[in-house]
Structure 1
Amino acid sequence: MSERLESDMLADSPHPRETMRLIGQDRAEQALLAAYRSGRIHHAWLLGGPEGIGKATLAYRMAKFVLTHPDPHRLDGATSLSVAADAAPARQIVSQSHVDLAVLRRLPNDKTKGFYSNIRVDDVRNVVRFLGSTAGAGGWRIAIIDSAEDLAREGANALLKVLEEPPPRVLFLMISHQPARLLPTIRSRCRLLTLDPLGEADVLLAAAQARPDLSEETLAAGAALAQGSVRRALTLADGEGVSLHRSLTDLLAKLPRIDVAAAHALADRCANKAGDENFALLLDFLDEWLHQRLLAARGEPVPRLARWAQVWEKARHAARDVEAYNLDRKPFVLATLGLLAEASTA
């Protein structure tokens, strides 16, 4: 497992390049295998879908396969993108030493002790130069971008020329959580391969593979709330997510009555710097609850449906203000619960 936290990995979990088994994405894997076997694989692939469903694992899996089998016409009857863990390209990719693989991602910022907010344009230009040079081993040059959303406009534009006129035997594997939000000029030059959210059983299996130190009960509770995302399941299982969801659910079940003591206790768990992760989770839980409430209200009178829509919009707007201006979170939590109670009585 990686010793240092990286921008494209979850703490205490293996990095996608270290994950040898891809769970629940057979359709996407077979699509890449078939394209490569044809000998006419498109040079740029956009691997799309929600966070935490295996896109990066698939990208590294494809890179290992191509660099292990550089001739697409000599695949020895391969039925998946699996390669032996001790194959030289696989070992080199895991150790970040393969000369024909470049990875674009947000790098550590020594000044802030965090990560740069975007993939730096200088890093993009370095990769463009790398792709134009002669391959060092198997004849392919591969670039993994994780994620495309982290490319600022200047960085995306720096990629365009090589996307438009790629050198021979160059392969882009771009990971995107929201492909529709990318620049049209980037999207139009890539082949979109959408990965689906995982079923709960696959989420649990993948989560257990990543974190065998966590109990099955804890992982199962996280998987049940994960909405098909292994990353979300692990975040919930490893922190206060499951108990936070239970506390919020208990409060919402009593609406329009508000348990004042429980509401303050919930808000306190999201306050200050220590509550950063809890606050982000709470926003997700509230957003999902309101989404489900709106779906349930579709058969109700229009004014009542409109009230729930207004509450959803007000909560989202207030949450953006809290995060943008670093406002106190406790009043936001209490005010939002008040809005929900008011909408429930109408």
Structure 2
Amino acid sequence: MPLEIASPHQTLAVIGHDDAKRQLAEAFDSGRMHHAWLLTGAEGIGKTSLAYLVAHMILSGGENRFDRLNPEHPAARLIAAQAHPDLFVLRCPVDEKTGAVKDTIPVDEARKLAPFLSMTASQGAGRVAIIDEAHKLNRHGQNAILKMIEEPPTGATILLTATTVGGLLPTIRSRCRVLPMQTLSDSQLEVVLARLGVEVPEGADKARFFMAAAGSVGRALKLIEADALPLFDELLSILAAMPMLDLLRVQKLADQIGKKADADSFQVVTGLLIDTLRQSIRVAALGQADPTGLASKIGGRARLDKALELWESTGQTFAVAEGGNLDKKLVFINALSTISRMTA
């Protein structure tokens, strides 16, 4: 059941990310704020919400800050209503037929950035552009925004968010001040959920829930909406048994998450698989404690290299499948089969 949660443009505060907020506030107060910022980090940790809070700070002339935001300020009211004339937001549009958010940002939308930033600010505090999920711009879209990042008009600030930066043009990355954002601690995540009026599902193992959420508010909400914690437990059980692979259990799990009407479950479970694989690679490389038992099976340089390649390629394949271009069940089964062979 979908949860009714405020959108990033309605956000009045962001929990955590103190270092990122400090750097942004210091840059603004110095009067020499860099014109382009790239906020990076895992999905659902607050990158877009923080970008909106930066817009609040700039467009209010510094009256609204991260730790004190007056929702009645004229700029704040306009931002909340998505009607501020000096704020441009570029993001993946909603498909009018299906109601689902598309997985790419159209180049025609990206081309609107330059005319917007070239106009004089109507409120006098500058112009701000938020490019949400910039990694979902294709090469043409990235080229469309590149000139504004390379040669920004006076008074323009561009805030990009991205979960992955490898697909961004090197010139975009080099012109931006990159601001890595970390996942939230369990206690911070619990505070955020409480403020949203959301509780850990009744009867759920709290420690397991926060392990699955991995410091991401977005992931935690999807876990609850899709009732996906039992699916995560089943996934961990399958991984723990590797290199043995119970194909009947794998098929059953694939059937559960591959249904057309259950897109959230596929996104959550495949995201959990990718995160578990990534964490296991880290644990194996650093010799840390192994909570899933997978790390001990991918140790050694040769296997680690293969695991890294698998992590990158599987994430890309899941993304394509999520867009509806591949059979989700088959992609999921193939991924687990490949991991099984790698651990043998």
TM-score range relative to shorter protein: 0.7 to 0.9
The one of 215, 223, 245 aligned to 1:228 = 215
1:65 to 2:48 alignment: no
The structural deviation recorded for 1:24 is: 0.6
Give secondary structure in 1 for the equivalent of 2:112.
helix
The one of 70, 74, 94 aligned to 2:80 = 94
1:209 to 2:195 alignment: yes
TM-score, structure 2 normalization: 0.80
Gaps of 5+ in 2: 288-295
TM-score, structure 1 normalization: 0.79
1:287 to 2:274 alignment: yes
Question: Once structures 1 and 2 are overlaid, which stretch shifts more, 223-232 or 273-282?
Answer: 273-282
The one of 165, 189, 198 aligned to 1:179 = 165
Contact 2:58-2:125 within 8 A present in 1 as well: no
Contact 1:219-1:233 within 8 A present in 2 as well: no
- Partners of 2:40 and 2:259 lie apart in 1 by 34
Q: How does 1:45-194 map to 2 (within 5 A)?
A: 45-69=37-61, 80=66, 82-110=68-96, 113-194=99-180
Contact 1:61-1:82 within 8 A present in 2 as well: no
Aligned to 1:32: 24
Aligned to 2:237: 250
Question: Once structures 1 and 2 are overlaid, which stretch shifts more, 59-68 or 215-224?
Answer: 215-224
1:240 to 2:227 alignment: yes
The structural deviation recorded for 1:275 is: 4.3
Alignment deviations for residues 203-243 of structure 1 (CA, whole Å, 9 cap, x no partner):
22223323537658769454331222111111112213211
Contact 1:222-1:237 within 8 A present in 2 as well: no
Give secondary structure in 2 for the equivalent of 1:109.
coil
* Distance of aligned partners of 1:33 and 1:305 in 2 relative to their CA distance in 1, 3 Å threshold: closer
Aligned to 1:265: 252
The structural deviation recorded for 1:114 is: 3.7
1:44 to 2:36 alignment: yes
Q: Which is greater in Rg?
A: 1
Contact 1:207-1:219 within 8 A present in 2 as well: no
- Equivalenced residue count is 329
- Partners of 2:230 and 2:135 lie apart in 1 by 31
Question: Once structures 1 and 2 are overlaid, which stretch shifts more, 227-236 or 307-316?
Answer: 307-316
State the AA in 2 paired with 1:326: L
* Distance of aligned partners of 1:232 and 1:208 in 2 relative to their CA distance in 1, 3 Å threshold: same
Give secondary structure in 1 for the equivalent of 2:26.
helix
- Partners of 2:153 and 2:14 lie apart in 1 by 30
1:21 to 2:1 alignment: no
- Partners of 1:285 and 1:11 lie apart in 2 by 20
The structural deviation recorded for 1:287 is: 3.4
Contact 1:106-1:115 within 8 A present in 2 as well: yes
State the AA in 1 paired with 2:254: A
- Partners of 2:72 and 2:299 lie apart in 1 by 63
The structural deviation recorded for 1:285 is: 3.2
- Partners of 1:54 and 1:341 lie apart in 2 by 34
